[in-house]
Amino acid sequence: MMDAAESRDIFLSCFKCGRIVRSSDAECPRCGLQFGPGTLFECPFCSGLIWRNAAKCSSCGIDLTEFSESVVKTSSNFDMDNFVDGIINNELEQLKSTIRRVACPGCGLMIRGDEDKCPRCDLPLEEAKVDCPVCGEKISISAKSCGSCQAVFEELPEEQLSAEEPPIPEPVVSEAPVHEEPRAVEPPPRAAHVVFKKPMVRKPVAKVSVARKPVARRPAAKPAAKKKAPVKKRTLKKSKTVRKKPSPVAKPKKRKR
Whole-number pLDDT of residue 211: 60
Bridge-partner residues for 50, per DSSP?
A: 41
Bridge-partner residues for 20, per DSSP?
A: 13
HSE-CB at 64 with a 13 A cutoff on CA atoms is: 31
Whole-number pLDDT of residue 68: 80
Per the prediction, the chain carries an average pLDDT of 71
Alpha carbon distance, N-terminus to C-terminus of the chain: 178
Query: Among residues 39, 2, 32, which one has the least CA distance to residue 12?
Result: 39
DSSP characters for 229-251?
A: PPPPPP-PPPPPPPPPPPPPPPP
Whole-number pLDDT of residue 6: 44
* Residue spans of the chain under pLDDT 50: 1-6, 161
- Interatomic CA distance for residues 82 and 21, integer angstroms: 12
Report pLDDT digits (tens) over 102-144: 778 888 887 777 778 888 888 887 777 777 877 878 888 777 7
- The widest CA-to-CA distance across the chain, in whole angstroms, is 191
Other CB atoms within 10 A of residue 139 CB: 23
Ranges of H-type helices in the chain? 2-7, 64-74, 80-96, 158-164
Whole-number pLDDT of residue 139: 82
